[in-house]
Amino acid sequence: MLPVDLFKPFSFDILMNRRDSLKHLGAALGALPFSHFLPLTPFEHATVRLDDDVLKQLDRLKSESPCRSEVRMERGGARLYLNGAEVFPFFAVSASPLRTAKSYRAAGIRFLHPLIGLETGWSAPDRYDWKDLEKYFATLLDLVPDAYILPRLHIYAPAWWKEQHPDELIKCGLPIPSNEYNAPAQFVEPVFNWNMNDAYAPSFASERWKRDSADVLRSFLRFIEASPLRSRMMGYQISGLHTGEWHYPGCGFMPDYSAPMQKVAGPVPSVERRIDKGGPLLRNPETDGDIREYLRKFHTNTAETVAGYGRIIKEETGRRVVCGTFFCYVLENVMIQEAGHLVPEPVLHSPDFDYLATPYTYQRSNVPGNKRWDSDVIDDAGNWLGRARGVGGDGAARILTESLRRNRKMFIAELDPSTYVEPYRRSEGGSGSDTVEGTLKILRRDIGQMFASGHAGWLFDFGHLDPPFKANRSWYDDPPMTREIRSLLTLCEKERPRLDISPVSEIAAVYDAKSWLCTQNWKAEEPWEHFGIVISDFIGHWMVNSQARTIHRIGAPADFLYRFDLRPDDSETFKLFLMVNTLYLNADEVGRLRALFRGSGATVVWYYAPGYVGEEKFEPGQMEALTGFSFQRIDERGPMMIRFKIEDPSLKFFREFGVEKPHYPRFAVVPREGEKMRVLGMWRDREEIAFASKEYDGFTSVYVGTGPMPVEILRWIAERAGVRMWSSKADNVRASRGAAMVVASDNGERIIRFPRPMRAVEGGQVGAEHRVTMQFGEVKLFVEG
C-alpha cells in the first residue's frame, strides 16, 4: 500500500504516522546536480486529491489497442514512432505533474513523464498493491485525455526491507553526517519520495536485493500489462541509486565495504589508499592495480545490474514499448571514481535500452564574486572559456551523443532551467534567467539545440519543490513561455520528419571513461581552492568539463564519442580529433588508434599523457608511439600552466593558459636531433616544451600537456586542420544535415557558412552563406531549404 491514503488530502502529519515512509532519505534532489547537497525539510504544504471517479478513465481505454512505441534509426538518426507514426520526442516532467499537466498541454506537450517510486506499492515480502498507482495514472489522463505516459520507475528499498536485511546494506569507509542518513521521507505527490540519496540503502552488489527488486519490477509491469492503461503506456524508464541516476549511494563517503560488495569486487582497498591524498595524477599500475580492479568490478556490477532491469522491462512488455534509463555520463560526473559510470558498455550496448537520458550541463561559475546562478568559466590565466547555462551558454549534453547514435540509442536531454518566476534559486537557469527576455532565449537555445542536433528532450519543472525552490508554481506556465514553447514544438513537429538528421561534424572529441580507474581520486583535491568548484577531480573538471566549454563554442559542430566507438572510416569523416583523456590503453588499443590516424591527413590533439598508463606498468613507449614525440617525465610538482609561444597576430593577446594548482607528473617534449617540430608553448615554471606539433605517420600530431585550451587556440588549430568554420566568430553551433543552430557568444556581425543551402526558420533567402548581426545569447535556427 501507499504511505498515504489517496482518497484524502495528505500532509506531513499523515506521513509521520507511517514508519515505512520515513526511512528513505535524500540529501539532494532528483536529477539536480550534486552541488545541491542541502538538508531537506518536510513538504507541509503538499496537498493532492485523488478520488474514485478517475477510474472511469480506464473504461474509455478498454476499447483502445495496446500502445506500441519504438525507436527507429532512419534518415540519419534516432526517431520515435508511436502506434506506427513518427512523433517528435518531447516530454513533460514535473515535481507535481497533477498541477502542471494541463499547462504543459497548453504549451503543446502531451507526453508525460511522471516520477514513480515502486516502494510505495511494496508493503511486505511478496506483497504488492498497484491500485493506487493505477489511480494516479488515470488522474493524469483525466487532466490530459490525449496524453501518453512514459513513467520513470524508481527502485528503492522500503524501511522494512532494510530493517530485515542489515547485512545487505551499504557500508561506507568514511563517517556520514547524521542528517544525511536515514532521514524523513519527502513527498510532493503521494507516488514519489524525493529523498533518493540515502546511503542507508541496499548494497547494489546484494544478490538478495537484486532478486527482490526484480520481483517488484515484474509485479508492477504485469499489473499494468493487465490494465487498460497499457494503451497509454508508451514506455518505461528505470531509475535508481543516488539521484535516480545510478550514482552509488554514499558516493561522498567512499562506499562500499559491505559483505556483498566484498564478495563481488573485493577485497576493497583502504580509504587512505583509494584517496591517496597528495599523490600523483596517475596511479601506478604496479602498486595500485588492486584499486583499479576494485573500481572496474564495482562499476561493472552497477552497469550489469542496470542492464538487467532493462531486460526485465522488455521481457514483461513483449518488447512492445520503448525502455530507457540514465547512464553513460562522462562530462560533469562529479565524485567520479565512486559516482561515475566508468564501465558504460553493458548499458550502452544493451539491446534492451532504446534511449539514454541525462540532464544538461550544470557547470557553475568559478569567477570570484559571481552569483551562484552565473555560469561563466575561466582558467587561472583569466581566459574566458565559455558559459554553461544561462543566456549565451552552450547548454551542452553531459553524455557522448555520437556514441549513442552509433549504438542505435536515442538521446533525451533533460532541460530543467529555472525561469523568471523563480524568486530564490536561479542556479538551474543560469545567468539572465531572471528576466522574461533571458528565459525565452534559454528555452529557444535548449529546444532549438534538440531540433538542430536530431535529439529528443523533456522539460523538468521543479517549481513546486519547496525547499529548495520558492516559486510554488510551474516554472513554465506563463503566457510568454507557453507561446515560445508551443511555437518551437510546432516547428519541430512540422520539420523533423522531412529532415535528414545525420551528423555533419568534422571535429571529434574523444573520451575514455576507463581512464578514471587510473587517475587521482576526486577527494584528493580537497580542499578545492577555486570558487565554484567542488567534488570534482583535476582531470574531470579542467581537461574534460571546462575544455568542453571551448569545444562547444569553437564555431563549428563537434561530435562527442567514446574512444572505443571510433571506426576505421572516421579518418575520412573527421579532420580534427581531440583525444581528451585517452590515458589508459592496452597495446591493442594503441595499435587501433595508430592504424586509424596513419596516413589520414587529419590533425590529432593529444592531451596530457595519452596511452601512458598500461595494463601492468607505465608505458612511455605507447605515449611516444601514439604522438611521435619523445618525452621526459617531470615528477616535481608544478603549476599546470603553459606559456604560449605561437607567433600569430590573431593570438597576440594570449600569453598563458591552464591551472595554477601544482600537480605531478607532468611531461616535457624532448626534441630529437634533426627533428622538425613547431614549439607552441613551454611550461611556465621551466624552460621545457609543453605544447608542440609535428607531421608524423601521415597526420599532424599536436601534444598539449594540460588543459583547458582557450577557444581561440582551438579555432586556430581547427582552421589549420581544414575544418569548416560555420561561424566567423567563436559561437556555439549545433547542426545535423538538415538543420542548424547558432548561439551568439558576443555582439556584432558574423558570417555563417553552411555546407549546403539553408534558410532561417522565420523565412528569408535560401543560401549557403548568411551575414547576420546578433546580440550576445541570441539564437538563430536554420533548416535546409
Read off the pLDDT of residues 201-218 as tens digits, 9 standing for 90 and up.
Answer: 999 999 999 999 999 999
Read off the pLDDT of residues 399-418 as tens digits, 9 standing for 90 and up.
Answer: 999 999 999 999 999 999 99
State the pLDDT at residue 50: 56
Q: What is the dihedral of CA 21, 26, 29, 32, to 10 degrees?
A: -150
Q: At 678, phi and psi to the nearest 5?
A: -110, 120
The cell for 652 is: 597576440
Alpha-carbon distance 329 to 610, whole Å?
A: 21
Share of the chain above pLDDT 90, in %: 85
The cell for 423 is: 524568486
State the pLDDT at residue 485: 98
Alpha-carbon distance 267 to 412, whole Å?
A: 38
Is residue 41's pLDDT more than 50?
Answer: no
- 10 Å CB burial of residue 246 (0-12, 13-18, 19+) is buried
State the pLDDT at residue 423: 87
Of 3-12, 197-206, 613-622, 657-666, least confident by mean pLDDT is 3-12
What distances in angstroms separate CA 151 from CA 207, 238, 267, one per listed residue?
Answer: 26, 9, 38
State the pLDDT at residue 1: 25
Q: Residue 187: name the closest of 333, 60, 47, 56 by CA.
A: 47
Confidence of residue 12 (pLDDT cuts 50, 70, 90): very low
Average pLDDT for residues 274-281, to the nearest whole number?
97
Sign of CA pseudo-dihedral 414, 418, 421, 424: positive
Is residue 722's pLDDT more than 60?
Answer: yes
Of 34-48, 71-85, 112-126, 452-466, least confident by mean pLDDT is 34-48
Average pLDDT for residues 157-174, to the nearest whole number?
98
Average pLDDT for residues 378-405, to the nearest whole number?
97
Share of the chain above pLDDT 70, in %: 93
Q: At 734, phi and psi to the nearest 5?
A: -125, 145
Beta bridge partners of 668: 632
Alpha-carbon distance 581 to 608, whole Å?
A: 8
Q: What does the DSSP 8-state code read for residue 540?
A: I
Confidence of residue 32 (pLDDT cuts 50, 70, 90): very low
Confidence of residue 732 (pLDDT cuts 50, 70, 90): very high
462, 475 in Cβ contact below 8 A?
yes
Is residue 686's pLDDT more than 90?
Answer: yes
Q: What's the pTM value of the predicted model, to 2 decimals?
A: 0.93
Buried b (16+ CB within 10 A) or exposed e, 59-98: eeeeeeebbbbebeeebbbbbbbbeeeebbbbbbbbbbbb
What distances in angstroms separate CA 757 from CA 32, 146, 506, 785, one per listed residue?
Answer: 40, 38, 18, 6
Alpha-carbon distance 308 to 291, whole Å?
A: 26
First-to-last CA distance in the chain? 56
Radius of gyration of the chain (CA): 26
Q: Which of 17-21, 533-537, 666-670 has the highest mean pLDDT?
A: 666-670
What distances in angstroms separate CA 609 from CA 103, 581, 630, 660, one per listed residue?
Answer: 51, 8, 12, 19
What distances in angstroms separate CA 708 from CA 8, 346, 580, one per listed residue?
Answer: 56, 31, 10
Q: Residue 662: name the closest of 485, 469, 529 by CA.
A: 529
Average pLDDT for residues 325-332, to the nearest whole number?
97
Is residue 247's pLDDT more than 90?
Answer: yes
Read off the pLDDT of residues 642-682 as tens digits, 9 standing for 90 and up.
Answer: 999 988 888 877 789 999 999 999 999 999 999 999 999 99
Residue 701: its H or E element: strand 699-704
